Amino acid sequence: MEHLTEKKLQQLELMANRMREDVIQMVSRAGSGHIAGPLDMAEIFAAFYFHILNHNPKKPNWPERDRLVLSNGHICPIQYAALAHAGYFPVEELKTLRELNTRLQGHPHRMVLPGIETTSGPLGSGLSQSAGMALAAKMDGKKWRTYCLTSDGEHEEGNTWEAVMFAAKNRLSNLTVFVDRNNIQIDGFTEHVMPLESLRAKYESFNWHVLEIDGHNFEEIIAAVAEAKAIHEQPTVVIAHTIPGKGVDFMENDYLWHSKPFKEGEAAKALHELRTLRGKIKSEHE
């Protein structure tokens, strides 16, 4: 993983912002889709696809690639944006989100789109799939790593905790999980629907190495991955504290934006905010 220079940091910040713009345009054009989660994961996806992952968009099935598994598949618009800008498929194709016969369905489909490691939709499955991949790599003596991106809400699924136990038992140090701790789900705030705290203590009790970071801070995201690589006896979970709807003032911290269609003028307002922010990012690094 290359050193994070000031120039690279600006590039990552601009990419995250560009991907947020893509999400707004994609969901607005489609007339449906998830918004709050994709917006709050922009920095994490930008960090992975443009700095962390060992991957080759021209050879998406390269055997030695790192595996990135999106467990909460409903936030796929942000992954689609990252994949397109990384070169897995044309950026122009983002316009087809949720259209009939598109490769960009409302939940990702592994068999039709390059760069997608698993078909996801049923929440709670991704960590089990990721643990299986990590165990296979360990058994085969491979150096590639598995990264699983999950939501906090899906930690209400029992399957998640079965995978947590399995990964700890098998000492899957080549597995790193990022939890999008945005505190919302479709019916409200997680702590009202089904309290998760203390999430850190829960993972620690299952013998995981636990880190907590600001999920919008590139330095912290990248440092967390570096630390996870230095842990040799445990899997690592990174609890990334994020703001749902990040970057758009009227969406931030409002669980109703988990998934709802735009009203007239809302998409344009959101894009104006993000484009204004893009200018600020450029001026801050001059």
Q: Which of 163, 155, 209 is nearest to 179 (CA)?
A: 155
Q: How many Å apart are CA 160 and CA 145, to the nearest integer?
A: 19
Which residues face 185 on adjacent strands? 188
DSSP 63-83: TTSPEEEESSGGGHHHHHHHH
Edge-to-edge strand list for the sheet holding 175-181 = 67-70, 146-151, 175-181, 236-241, 209-214
Per-residue confidence of the chain (286 residues) as pLDDT tens digits?
A: 778 899 999 999 999 999 999 999 999 999 999 999 999 999 999 999 999 999 999 999 999 999 999 999 999 999 999 999 999 999 999 999 999 999 999 999 999 999 999 999 888 899 999 999 999 999 999 999 999 999 999 999 999 999 999 999 999 999 999 999 999 998 889 999 999 999 999 999 999 999 999 999 999 999 999 999 999 999 999 999 999 999 999 999 998 888 888 999 999 999 999 999 898 898 886 6
Q: How many Å apart are CA 143 and CA 214, to the nearest integer?
A: 28
Domain extents in the chain: 6-284
Q: What pLDDT score does 27 carry? A: 96
Q: What pLDDT score does 178 carry? A: 98
CATH number at 6-284: 3.40.50.970
